[in-house]
Amino acid sequence: WPVLLTAGIEAGLTEEEVGDCLKAARTLATDKSLPVTMFPWAERLPKPTEWLIGGVIPRESCIVIGAEEKTGKTWVSLLMSLVLASEGRLLDTWQAKKRGRSLLISPEGSRSGLQRRLYGLCWSLRLDPAKVAPWVQIWPGRLSLADDKQVADLRTTIRVLKPDLLGIDPLVTATDAESENDAAAMQAALNKIRDLLPLNPGMSAVVCHHLAKGSADRSPWHALRGSSALGAWADGLVTLRRAGESASAVRRIDTWHRDDPSPEPKGFRLVTGASEVPGVPTIRLEPCAAPEIGGRGAKKTGDQLLTDVRKDPGKWTISAWARWRQVSDFAAKAALNPILGVL
């Protein structure tokens, strides 16, 4: 009450008016004639965002890792779990805020292949796999969100294990949708994932999916392959793109949040090394500067922007120019960065 009173007076209300507002809100929130109880959002001040991994994964959120093919989405999702298990830093940048447990559903590939990946990452991070294993739990096989028995088993597992992070890689293996463009089936599956979060308050879900081909010029939320339901469902999006076709090309990771500022992009390389087991290399996601990545239309957009700005210097804001040329703000901003030096 003292905090609300102070805020109300600062907003120009009297103490009596603040009390009347609070009383009205409580009356509506507990009105027995309503079929549901309303969320009493004004009864207390909001709290700042709490993070599992600072700047990347908020607590109690649903995050999508959207990746171009062969950019390392599985490596990144596994690394997130190991960073959380060791209270480390993701790409030497984003700090896990506490030690936490992960439950990973990753049926693509073989069990032995997944084991090699986890060992390779542990060795590069100087972690003892045996000590980390209780904190990184692997679901046995594929999960079908359309199978009530499997969903019930998953719900029980979450209640018992109390994971801080639930990972599904890739999402398509769990949806049972005949097509990624089936919005109704995709939304039904996504709703089941979000409904899991209250089973362990504070838990977040991360699902891996592909970006559509040729999507580099689109806004990130519209670049996900298939139904738009996925972009609408997500609280945050982590995108992975590759600066070139070679396996050694630098990857770029961008993070976008609906309710929080997005951190600066980061680059990384997949670097292998020798280990104590022949044929099983260490794997390090080596941080580096984020590369500039544009689609086929980026150069054309940039050339047009440069021409227009030179013709009428000082006339345009980036948003006004984007509307005039009928391109997205995202594409306009992406085109601006490479030409700032020219201007």
The count of other CB atoms within 10 Å of the CB of residue 201 is: 9
Q: Which residue type sits at 216? A: A
Q: Which of 92, 63, 338, 11 is nearest to 221 (CA)?
A: 63
pLDDT at residue number 30: 60
Q: What is the pLDDT of residues 79-115, one digit of tens each?
A: 999 999 999 999 999 999 999 999 999 998 899 999 9
Span 293-303, mean pLDDT?
61
Q: Check pLDDT > 70 for residue 301.
A: no
Q: Check pLDDT > 70 for residue 309.
A: yes
- The per-residue pLDDT of the chain, averaged, comes to 86
% of the chain residues with pLDDT over 90: 57
Output the six-digit token pair for 261: 């500022």
Q: How do the residues of the chain divide into helix, strand and coil, expressed in percent and rounded to 5? A: 40, 20, 40
Q: Check pLDDT > 70 for residue 177.
A: no
C-alpha span between 54 and 204 (Å, rounded):
13
Q: How confident is the model at residue 311 (pLDDT cuts 50, 70, 90)?
A: confident
Q: What does the angle CA 339 – CA 340 – CA 343 come to, to the nearest 5 degrees?
A: 90
Q: Check pLDDT > 60 for residue 343.
A: no
Q: Check pLDDT > 70 for residue 3.
A: no
Q: Evaluate the CA torsion angle 119, 125, 129, 133 in order and state its sign.
A: negative
Q: Which of 112, 180, 103 is nearest to 143 (CA)?
A: 103
Q: Check pLDDT > 70 for residue 341.
A: no
Q: Please, which residues have CB within 8 angstroms of residue 18's CB and are 6 or more apart in sequence? A: 4, 5, 8, 9
Q: Check pLDDT > 60 for residue 2.
A: no
pTM of the complete model? 0.79
Q: How confident is the model at residue 25 (pLDDT cuts 50, 70, 90)?
A: low
Span 56-62, mean pLDDT?
97
Q: How confident is the model at residue 46 (pLDDT cuts 50, 70, 90)?
A: confident
Strands 236-242 and 62-67: parallel
C-alpha span between 332 and 319 (Å, rounded):
8
% of the chain residues with pLDDT over 70: 84
pLDDT at residue number 1: 47
28 vs 62, higher pLDDT = 62
166 vs 229, higher pLDDT = 166
C-alpha span between 84 and 95 (Å, rounded):
9
Q: What is the pLDDT of residues 233-276, one digit of tens each?
A: 999 999 999 988 888 899 999 999 998 999 999 999 999 999 99
Q: What is the pLDDT of residues 118-168, one digit of tens each?
A: 999 999 999 999 999 999 999 999 999 999 999 999 999 999 999 999 999
